[in-house]
């Protein structure tokens, strides 16, 4: 939270977040994603790298799925959230 707040102090045009949920308890993960939703809702552009695909897709407008350094799937996050390829590979469906 402090790192996010500190980065916002300079009023960036783009906020880069790399695995913001890593190492956090489930309650803190929800809290940090509420903050991310709030920041995005205020118009900040965010580039989010996150292994928790379900949460990442819930806050994203657009998503890119990479495999071995290559983009294998891209599109609207809401559409990808229901894509069976994403469900099998990343969501455990």
**Beta carbons within 10 angstroms of residue 50's beta carbon:** 20
Q: Measuring CA to CA, which residue among 76, 81, 22, 82 is closest to residue 49?
A: 22
The pTM is what? 0.80
Tell the burial category of 21 from Cβ atoms under 10 Å away from its Cβ (0-12, 13-18, 19+): buried
- Whole-number pLDDT of residue 92: 60
One digit per residue, the tens of pLDDT, for the chain of length 93 reads 788 888 888 999 999 999 999 999 999 999 999 999 999 999 999 999 998 888 899 999 999 988 888 998 899 999 998 888 887 766 565
For residue 71, the tally of other CB atoms under 10 A from its CB is: 9
pLDDT at 13: 93
For 45, phi then psi, to 5°, come to: -80, 130
Locate the domains of the chain by residue range. Answer: 1-49, 52-93
**DSSP letter (8 states) at residue 78:** H
What pLDDT sits at residue 66? Answer: 85
């Amino acid at each position: 939270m402090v790192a996010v707040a500190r980065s916002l102090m300079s009023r960036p045009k783009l906020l880069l977040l790399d695995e913001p949920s890593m190492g956090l308890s489930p309650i803190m993960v929800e809290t940090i994603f509420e903050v991310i939703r709030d920041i995005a809702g205020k118009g900040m552009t965010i580039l989010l790298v996150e292994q928790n695909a379900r949460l990442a897709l819930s806050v994203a407008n657009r998503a890119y799925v990479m495999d071995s350094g290559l983009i294998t799937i891209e599109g609207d996050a809401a559409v990808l959230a229901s894509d069976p390829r994403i469900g099998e590979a990343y969501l455990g469906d």
